[in-house]
Amino acid sequence: MSFWQRLWQHLAAPPPSADFWYVPIAQPTYTGKFVNEQTSLQCSAVYACVRVIAETVASLPFNVYRRLPEGGKRVATEHPVHYLIHDSPNEELTAYEFWETLMLHVLTWGNAYARVLTGARDVVTALIPIPPDRVEVRRDLDTGVRYYRISEPGKDPEILFDDQILHIPGLGYDGLRGYSPIEMQRQAVGLALAAEEYGARFFGNNAAPPMYLHSTQQLTDKSKENLMQWFSRKFGGVSNSHKLGILDNGVEIKTVPINHRDIQFLELRKFQIEEIARIFRVPLHLIQNLDRSTHNNIENQSIDFAMHTIRPWLVRIEKRVNKALFGPRESGTYFAEFVMEGLLRGDAKSRAEFYTAMRNAGIMTANEIREKENLNPLPGGDELFIQGAMVPVSQAARATTEESAV
């Protein structure tokens, strides 16, 4: 299909009620591939990176905590927001599905939106995801107030304000919206899609180099077309490979040699996987590329992923949730926070050494350790202990002097 044919597909006018009007027009790249937030997911590396980040964030417990007067915190299961962000934000979605959807939006579009529904006394009752392509973020030039223009299919545009929407922006420049990673890096994604299509078409042509049919006789345009269609139908595709063919009327097959080593096809595909993983800051072993991974460094890479990829996203979400879902009176008492200790646990030996040190230093109780290991508390396990063999140096010197005097 030519460039103009593909362009016409995007410009041809559908019915006014069609969802087409709310689907982003893919932007062309130098490879000729059209890339947008949806078509980019056809690239396996993009899909894998988005999936591993979205699923990791969605799988972490997200709690509402109450600050205690004596210091510390406790899980505030009685607060209505806790159920929404921890269990189910609305009648249709679980909390896992909700956060997975919002992470998909922010990782591809650069922004995630959810409508905030409230009941009596402005208590938050539900959170409804909004597709990012249906939201425009604007600022009133006279008042400086930020507002959101929502365009739903079949409905008149609706205006929402900050207290009516949960907006999680990615990296941005104007304080209104975040950059779309796909839009900013569409050339890299387009190159990966083009390489994938090239490989698919190569094997769809029996993994044979380009070829043409040479005839010693003069053929009309209609004869050429018929011959091409017959040849493609009989011998095109992997299922028709190695079939015996017979050509007459002086027709013979000529091939155009191609050296994949010269164009570094495999190296290109591997590099594009690394390029896309670099965009999303995902270790290669998490998207099933184990060329440079060993048993010794995978654990460190996983911890690095938790600290430098997942944690910034968690903090970004926490800040926005605290700002949007807790009023001025509640924000001093309640706050939302992810529990990410599970991502940093390490292996069994490392955890045992850490717990031993914390227990002997009188920092953690037995029940606190059991809670982190998903074990039930035990009677008497809430008391702190400290190693009794450790005494001040001055006391040890005094005891030595007294023993010498005796």
pLDDT digits (tens, 9 = 90+) for 28-64: 676 777 888 888 888 888 899 999 999 999 999 999 9
pTM given for the model: 0.71
277 SS3 class: helix
Give the separation between CA 105 and CA 149, rounded to whole angstroms: 17
Q: Any idea what DSSP says for residue 217? A: S
Buried b (16+ CB within 10 A) or exposed e, 329-357: eeeeebbbbbebeebeeeeeeeeeeebee
Which of 309, 331, 342 is CA-nearest to residue 103? 309
Looking at residues 369-392, what average pLDDT do you find?
A: 78
Token output for 18: 């069609």
Tens digit of each residue's pLDDT (9 = 90 or more) over 196-228 = 766 666 656 555 556 656 666 777 778 778 777
| Residue ranges of E strands in 90-216 | 111-118, 124-130, 135-139, 146-150, 158-161, 165-169, 211-215
- How many separate helices (H) and strands (E) can be counted in the chain? 14, 13
- Which amino acid appears at position 399 of this protein? A
Sign of CA dihedral 66, 165, 25, 170: negative
**Band of pLDDT at residue 346, cut at 50, 70 and 90:** low
Report the pLDDT averaged over residues 4-24. Answer: 46
Per-residue pLDDT, averaged over 386-398, amounts to: 67
Interval 107-166: pLDDT, tens: 999 999 999 999 888 889 999 999 999 999 999 888 989 999 999 888 899 999 999 999
The Cα–Cα gap between 384 and 391 comes to 18
Closest to 326 measured CA to CA, from 74, 82, 137: 82
Rounded percentage of the chain residues whose pLDDT exceeds 70: 71
Query: Amino acid identity, residue 371?
Result: E
| pLDDT of res. 42 | 83
Mean pLDDT of the chain: 79
Span 83-108, pLDDT tens digits: 999 999 999 999 999 999 999 999 99
172: phi then psi, degrees, rounded to nearest 5? -140, -175
Name the residue with higher pLDDT: 330 or 389. Answer: 330
